[in-house]
Amino acid sequence: MISEPRLYGAAIVAMVLSALLMYLVPLIPQVVIDGVLLESGEGPSSFERFILSLLGGSEFVGRNLWWPGLVILFLSVLAGAFAYFRGAFSAKATERIVQRMRDNLYQKLQRAPVGFIDRSETGDLIQRCTSDVDTVRIFLSAQVVEVARAIAMLIVPLPFMLLISPVMTLASIVFLPVIVIFAFFYFKRIRVAFLDVDEAEADLTSTVQENISGIRVVRAFAQQEQECEKFDGRNGRHRDLDNHLYRVLAWFWSISDLMCMSQKIIVVGLGLVLLGLGHLEVGAFFFFLTVVSMFVWPIRQMGRILADLGKAQVALGRIGHVLEQPEESHGETGVELARESLAGAISFRGVTFSHPESDPVLHDISFEVAAGSTIALVGPSGCGKSTIINLLMRFYEPDEGSIELDGIRLSEIDRTSLRSNLSVVMQEPFLYSRSLMDNLAMGRDGAEEREIVEATTVASIHDSIMEFEEGYSTVVGERGLTLSGGQRQRLSIARALLRDPAVLVLDDALSAVDTKTERAILAALKDRKHRHTTILIAHRLTTVMQADEVLVLDEGRIVDRGSHDELLKRQGIYRRFWDIQHKGMDSLNDDSSGDSA
Amino acid sequence: MSQGTPHVEDVLGTIDRGLWRRIASHGRPYSSSAIAMVIGGVLIAVVESMLPLVTGWLVDAVVDQSSPTRMTWLGILYVSLCVGFCVLVWWFIVAAGRLATGLAHDLRQASFKRLQQLEFEYFDLQPAGWLVSRLTSDCRKVASLMPWFLLDLCWGITFLILVATAMLLIDYELALYVMTIVPILVVVTFYFQGKLLRSSRLMRKTNSELTAVYNEGIMGVRTTKSLTREQENLSEFQVVSDTMHRHSMTNAIQTSIFLPIVTSVGSIGVGIALWAGGLQIADGEGLSIGMLVAFMQYAVLFAMPVQELAARLSDLKGAQAAAERIQGLLDRVPAIRDSDEVLDRMREMQGVTSDELAIDGGDADINTIEFKDVSFWYKQGEPVLLNLDLAIRPKETIALVGPTGVGKTTIASLLCRFYEPCEGGIYINDVEYRKRSLHWLQSNLGIVLQHPHLFSGTVAQNIAYGMPGISKDRIIQAATQVEAHGFIEQMPQGYESEVGEGGGRLSIGQRQLIALARAVLADPQVFVMDEATSSVDTETEHHIQQGIEAALADRIAVVIAHRLSTVRSADRILVVESGQIVEQGSHAALLEAGGAYRELYRRHFAGSS
């Protein structure tokens, strides 16, 4: 495969050749007019005689006027072929670079630590991966090429022009610097107008977005008219700014057109004078007129593109910021865990953790979970329960202390191997927009249907799936069926079970499941207890009461621990939660003791 | 890939003229700009087609050594044509701006207004992002191509006619020879525009796929890492990025082959002009050198208008889908709206102020609400509610309980007239609510939903939503009543803290509390709470219980909750199962009865003896 720099080099060569040929085309009618058709005047210059001799001499051309016509066509086709090569080569190199950029970005997003994603806004990241990449693509494939073409178009004909008439050459380029400088500075100055419109449009978009996602609230408060007014204000502002931009551009195009026209007027004016004085041939005049029309427009574009270069630079910087992020170490020479010999004992020793530049989330956390047992974490929201899971999964690394699995420090275990043996189900689980079967099979490649049904049965979701028209082939997510929160949770539990993990973590993963189903799932999980260690996080205390040990967390510390019964006796925070949640129990027990055993 | 002739048809064949006429009719307020553009387009064509001719005259005048006055006049004509051209450029861009931005504005305005009227079913079916792009990119696309289409149509056609006329006038025989390239130009141009339209469509489609995959990669990063699927995901991504590469290359190759071919066809014209024109001059048949120069310039000029016309038609075709979507949205009749009868009464009531009469002339107060024989289904044949009867008495708090998916939320949605019964009717003070104003009903309801939506802005602004100018004290009072005051005070800027997009900086529980405060502050006649405190933590929920009870007293309230501790204090509890009320009564009475409620209750606390 040819390297990209070589492709660009080839594109430049093709571009120069194409420009050269394009200028030869107007040269043909010039020499024919001056050397063959026109009897008056001084006769052709030596250069024109040279070209004419290449065509077969004035005698031959005069007798066969179809011949120069054919040469014009031939040269055009050849110029076109080189122009095509220029486009094809530069596109090939650019698209390759861009694809590599896209792939690297995706890989980076997959491999960067979770913390980076957490700190970033999704929309912003996506913009970096799509529209910023596109800006770079346009820069490479169009803008660089445009500027190079403008320069080639200007430089290539210069020797010919100088040969024919140095005075006319000077007249042909005298106004160009003004055109470029005007375009450059004008666009620099009106960048604000572009930014204003972009901003107003973003404003408009977020107004619509909010209105639609909050449409129920809008209706519930009968605020349609106020919302319309709010929208009208932003819509009007956007129109005015956009209209202003059009006006600013109208001035630019008309003034720069006037400048380009002036350049042509200078050529025509001086040319006519020289023509009148007999210092210039008609054919040469035609040549200069054509050449000026050919390079004046690309040169005008050049100023505008140069002013726009800042955009590409900003986009590159934004892409670079993502690509610079460190990756989670993968394939490091860590311990590979073998599932068969893995028991699933966990120990936290003096673990402290804080997010960058903020107060610690966890203080000196220590606990042990025996292999195959069930531990529950309870406490108010924000007390650090989920952080413990993040540390266990090595989404984050502890600041102090150590975490061990079967007596091996997590930091010594190969990250992929560690995660393959742990399964976490989150409160708001993520499903890929594919079929249910694909989502489940992601748990383990090559899982048999029997195993999948077994897992979905334990998670109490099999029957619901069978009720869907397309069963396990139902596509879910953005482009498919929207599942309820409870269904998503149950599906993810099934997915987690399929992995046959050594440690199963349910991080508030039953919150959207109704009580009856929850009990069924917990009971089924209990039957498989010997197969994995379980960590349960829940608000509902009835969920956690079967755990072998319950850890009560508050503000990042373990404030109490013990079995459900022990904790109930202690009159602490656990007892208080229990009482609040079970206020109604008394009335039930009063008239039916023994029924609820 | 299918190849062949359909490309030409792609550009021309399927343009829906009726649709575009309707879109254009939205631009009627800007018809003066449109007329300005038509005039500008025609004039610019005149100026542009005259320039080569005047250049030719000038050359002849010099060669023939004409009088200085003639040369001066021709010079002045040439310069003023150039200046006139620039003035016209300014003129049509300004007119185009007015037309494009005005049309976009009006289309957006109308679409937004329509969105405010459409029923929820519509929103249930369309993803939010899809609707947003109707109002943003689709409107922009459709509106901004209009002026350029108009301009290039007028300019292109006039220009073609004028160039042809000029050539025919100079030398009709030579003109006919040169014009043989026009059909070739048309075929080539339309063929390539068709191809380009296709490949750029494929590029756009793949690009949105690419965006979706990135989105999934970011949103699902934890899941991906948990399932250790980084490598698989990357290979799947590469399939899409390969496709994108392929389509981009196709498009780039087509673009770079298109222009050279058009230029080459143009040069055939120049070749013919030189050959045939040169023969005439050599034979001394009267064609002047200057006119030959003009002729050759004209021969090149044919390509431009043909190319522009094809490009604009292709734009039109490319934006047709967007135009259809906008027009479709505007044409959609809201399924839930005030009847003509209600609208008539509201017109009559305009200017009348009364405490007892609402804006539609009916009762202002809501005393009773009654569901009579109500059936409802989202999908024919799968009723969610079947012949439901339910009478809510004045100032009564009722609670709906039962397993997920039995129709509790549907009952609330029907009450709020977010949906209407498919059969039966809902009566407010014995008047069927479809005979009342929708706006009146909804502005008297306080609705708090399980997934509360906050608007970006401050906490205070969100609590005071719909009540601008209300005092800070009352905001604090409402927040205090639902126990939100404590956590709000702890936020860095207290009530002035930004909640972030969609309330993203707050936990779901906190969002629920703010939504609750918002409803309490609005002081509605009827409260509807659908799982309004499901994510509030146990202790807080316990604390707000009293505040909520106070808020619900003295008005009709409908409460839906999973947590049975929340519903115990209701005047009446209704157990819903498969779209019907199977049991009702007070908490104590229902426990006593030992039916479905007791079973539900027992299960809720089971195992905790």
DSSP line for B183-213: HHHHHHHHHHHHHHHHHHHHHHHHHHHHHHH
Residues B216-228, mean pLDDT to the nearest whole number: 83
> Touching check for A205 and chain B: CB below 8 Å?
yes
Assess whether A323 and A410 both reside in one domain.
Answer: no
The dihedral region occupied by A156, where left means phi > 0, alpha psi between -120 and 50, and beta the remainder, is alpha
**B544 pLDDT more than 60:** yes
DSSP string of B341-385? HHHHHHHHHTT---SSB-TTSSBSS---EEEEEEEEESSTT-EEE
Each residue of B98-125: pLDDT tens digit? 999 999 999 999 999 999 989 888 887 7
Chain B residues with CB-CB distance to A543 below 8 A: none
A117 vs B231: CA distance, rounded Å: 18
Q: How confident is the model at residue A145 (pLDDT cuts 50, 70, 90)?
A: confident
What integer pLDDT is reported at residue A596 of this predicted model? 35
Contact B401, B600 (CB under 8 A): yes
Nearest-neighbour CA in chain A from B175: distance (Å): 16
Count Cβ atoms below 10 Å from residue B20 Cβ, excluding itself. 18
| Number of domains making up chain A | 2
Highest mean pLDDT pick, A140-154, A278-292, B423-437: B423-437
| B155 domain residue, yes or no | yes
Cβ-defined contact of A276 to B62 (cutoff 8 Å)? yes
Both A21 and A95 in one domain: the answer is: yes
d(CA A26, CA A291): 8
Q: Which of residues 135-174 of A touch B (CB under 8 A)?
A: 137, 141
Among B112, B185, B244, pick the best mutation site for testing chain A contact (most A Cβ within 10 A). Answer: B112
State yes or no: pLDDT of B87 exceeds 90.
yes
- Cα torsion for B79, B83, B88, B90, to the nearest 10°? 160
Phi and psi angles of residue A365, each rounded to the nearest 5 degrees, phi first: -90, 125
List of chain B residues whose C-beta atoms are within 8 Å of the C-beta of residue A272: 58-59, 62, 71, 75
Query: Which residues of chain A are within 8 Å of residue B490 when distances are taken between CB atoms?
Result: none
Is there a contact between B256 and A84 if contact means CB atoms under 8 Å apart?
yes
| pLDDT for the residue B451 | 75
User: In B, which residues are within 8 Å of A442 by CB distance?
Assistant: 227, 229
- Nearest Cα neighbor of B111 from B13, B233, B189, B26 is B26
Smallest CA–CA distance, residue A79 to chain B, in Å, is 8
Please report the number of interchain residue pairs, chain A to chain B, with beta-carbon separation below 8 angstroms.
420
User: Could you tell me how far CA A238 lies from the centroid of its own chain?
Assistant: 26
Asked whether residue B364 is domain-assigned, the answer is no
Task: Establish if A543 touches chain B: CB-CB under 8 angstroms.
Answer: no
Q: Is residue A456 part of a domain?
A: no
Question: What separation in angstroms does the CA of B605 have from each of A540, A565, A582, A587, B303?
Answer: 10, 15, 7, 12, 83
Reported ipTM exceeds the 0.85 cut: no
User: How many angstroms separate the CA of residue A74 from the nearest CA in chain B?
Assistant: 9
Burial class (CB in 10 A: 0-12, 13-18, 19+), A407: exposed
Query: What is the pLDDT of chain B when averaged over all its residues?
Result: 86
Residue B6: pLDDT band with limits 50, 70, 90? very low
Of A328, A357, A392, which residue sits at a domain end?
A: A328
Return the CATH number at A80.
1.20.1560.10
In chain B, residues with a C-beta closer than 8 Å to the C-beta of A205 are 132, 136
Specify the amino acid at residue A159: P
Strands annotated E in A199-345: none
Query: Best residue in A34, A252, A580 to probe B by mutation, most B CBs within 10 Å?
Result: A580
- Contact call for B271 and A249, based on CB within 8 A: no
- Chain A nearest-CA distance from B234, in A, is 6
| Chain B residues near residue A62 by CB distance under 8 angstroms | 282
B508 secondary structure, DSSP code:
H
Same domain for A128 and A31, yes or no, is yes
Q: Which pLDDT belongs to residue B403? A: 76
Same domain assignment for residues A12 and A43: yes
CA distance, residue B423 to nearest chain A CA (Å): 23
CA dist B481 and B496 (Å) reads: 19
Contact B456 A206 (CB under 8 A): yes
Q: Is residue B424 part of a domain?
A: no
**Residue A49, in any domain of the structure:** yes
Please report how the helices A282-323 and A176-189 are oriented relative to each other, as an axis angle in degrees rounded to 10: 30
> Are A106 and B241 a contacting pair at CB < 8 A?
yes
Task: Answer yes or no: is pLDDT of B602 > 80.
Answer: no
By Cβ distance, the residue of B62, B210, B256 closest to A272 is: B62
**Residue A222 in contact with residue B443, Cβ under 8 Å?**
yes
Please answer whether residues B52 and A227 qualify as being in contact, where contact means their C-beta atoms are separated by less than 8 angstroms: no
How many domains are contained in chain B? Answer: 1
- Given CB atoms, is A358 within the 8 Å cutoff of chain B? no
Is A91 at the interface with chain B, CB within 8 A? yes
Percent of chain A with pLDDT over 70: 95
- If residue A185 lies in a helix (H) or strand (E), which one and from where to where? helix A176-189
Answer yes or no: do A109 and B449 touch at CB < 8 A: no
Measured torsion, CA atoms of residues B18, B21, B23, B28, in degrees rounded to the nearest 10: -160
Q: Which of A334, A190, A322 is nearest to A256 (CA)?
A: A190
* Over residues A427-454, mean pLDDT: 84
Q: Which has the minimum average pLDDT: A209-218, A509-518, B9-18, B455-464?
A: B9-18
Under 8 Å between Cβ of A447 and A437 = no
Query: Closest to B252 (Cβ–Cβ): which among A36, A87, A443?
Result: A87
Please indicate whether, in this complex, the C-beta atoms of A478 and B127 are within 8 angstroms of each other.
Answer: yes
Classify residue A11 by burial, with Cβ atoms within 10 Å: 0-12, 13-18, 19+. Answer: buried
Q: Does A99 touch chain B (CB under 8 A)?
A: yes
Beta strand B431-432 pairing with B423-428: antiparallel
CATH number, position B226: 1.20.1560.10
- Are the beta carbons of B558 and B412 closer than 8 angstroms? yes
The answer to whether position B188 is within a domain reads: yes
Q: Could you tell me if residue A317 is inside a domain?
A: yes
In a domain, B342, yes or no: no
Whole-angstrom distance, CA of residue A399 vs CA of residue B266: 73
Tens digits of residue pLDDT in A489-507: 899 999 998 888 899 999 8
Contact assessment for residue A179 and residue A259, using Cβ atoms and an 8 Å cutoff: yes
Q: A404 and A323, same structural domain?
A: no
Q: Residue A363's domain spans which residues? A: 330-421+535-585
Token pair of B506, please? 């707050």
Instruction: Decide if B260 and A81 are in contact by the 8 Å CB cutoff.
Output: yes
Name B69's Cβ contacts closer than 8 Å, sequence gap at least 6: none
Question: Pick from A37, A221, A272: which is nearest to B282 by CB?
Answer: A37
Looking at residue A367, its pLDDT comes to 93
Neighbouring C-beta atoms of residue B312, cutoff 10 Å: 20
Residue among B116, B248, B261 whose CB faces A95 most closely: B248
Mutate which of B51, B251, B256 to disrupt the A interface (most A C-beta within 10 Å)? B256
Residue A549 near residue A561, CB atoms below 8 Å: yes
Q: Which residue of A has its CA nearest to B246?
A: A95
Q: Are B447 and B416 in contact (CB under 8 A)?
A: yes
Integer CA distances (angstroms), A266 to A23, A159, A166, B39, in order: 20, 20, 15, 29
Residues from chain B that touch A245, judged by Cβ atoms under 8 A, are: 97
Three-class SS of A75-132: HHHHHHHHHHHHHHHHHHHHHHHHHHHHHHHHHHHHHCCHHHHHHCCHHHHHHHHCHH
Contacts of B212 in chain A (CB under 8 A): 433, 478
Domain assignment present for residue B336? The answer is no
Say whether pLDDT at A89 is over 80. yes
Cβ separation of A430 and B223 shorter than 8 Å? yes
Q: Which residues of A touch B213 (CB under 8 A)?
A: 106
Q: CA A167 to CA A406: how far, in whole Å? A: 89
Q: Please name which of A504, A498, A393, A494 lies closest in space to residue A445, comparing C-alpha atoms.
A: A498
Task: State the pLDDT at residue A333.
Answer: 67
Mean pLDDT for the stretch of residues A14-28: 87
The reply to whether residue A84 touches residue B260, judged by beta carbons under 8 angstroms, is yes
Q: Looking at the structure, do residues A321 and A369 belong to the same domain, yes or no?
A: no
Domain boundary among A260, A293, A328: A328
Asked if A73 lies within 8 A of B207 by C-beta distance, the reply is: no
A131 touches chain B (CB under 8 A): no
- Partner-chain contact A254 B89, CB within 8 Å: yes
A322 and A378, same structural domain?
A: no
CATH at residue A398: 3.40.50.300
A96 touches A136 (CB < 8 A): no
Q: How far is CA A447 from CA A438, A450, A452, A453, B226, in A?
A: 11, 8, 7, 10, 17
Contact B226 A419 (CB under 8 A): yes
Is the pLDDT at B607 greater than 70, yes or no? no
The DSSP secondary structure of A41-88, one letter per residue, reads SS---HHHHHHHHHHTHHHHHHH-THHHHHHHHHHHHHHHHHHHHHHH
Indicate if the alpha-carbon torsion angle B458, B460, B464, B468 is positive or negative.
Answer: negative
Which residue of A247, A380, A499 is in closest CB contact with B97?
A247
Q: Does A434 touch chain B (CB under 8 A)?
A: no
Cα atoms found within 13 Å of the Cα of residue A429, Cβ hemisphere only: 35
Token pair, residue B57, equals 């005259």
| Contact list, A281 vs chain B (CB under 8 Å) | none
Instruction: Answer yes or no: do A323 and A347 share one domain.
Output: no
Contact between residue A389 and residue A583 where contact means Cβ atoms under 8 Å apart: no
Which residues neighbour A151 within 8 Å (Cβ) at sequence distance 6 or greater? Answer: A302
Q: What tens digit of pLDDT does each residue of A236-282 get?
A: 999 999 999 999 999 999 999 999 999 999 998 898 888 888 888 87
Whether A458 has its CB under 8 Å from any CB of chain B: the answer is: no
**Domain co-membership, A320 together with A354:** no
Q: What angle do CA A2, A8, A10 make, to 5 degrees?
A: 75
> Which residues on B lie below 8 Å from A381 (Cβ)?
507, 509, 537
Q: How far is CA B287 from CA B60, B182, B279, B292, B297, in A?
A: 11, 23, 10, 7, 15
CA A154, CA A173: separation in Å to the nearest integer?
A: 9
The residues facing A476 across adjacent strands are A481
Token readout for A566 is 């022990």
Q: B263 lies in a domain?
A: yes
User: Average pLDDT for residues B326-346, to the nearest whole number?
Assistant: 89
Residue at A260 is within a domain: no
Percent of chain A, pLDDT > 90? 28
Please judge whether A70 and B271 are an interchain contact, meaning their C-beta atoms are less than 8 angstroms apart.
Answer: yes
Select from A297, A328, A359 the last residue of a domain. Answer: A328
Whether A595 shows a pLDDT value over 50: the answer reads no
Does residue A199 fall inside a structural domain? no
How many Å lie between the alpha carbon of A555 and the closest alpha carbon of chain B? 15
Facing residue for B502 by CB, picked from A213, A276, A381: A213
How far apart CA B230 and CA A107 sit, in angstroms, is 8
Q: What is the DSSP letter of A530?
A: G
By C-alpha distance, the chain A residue nearest B524 is A221
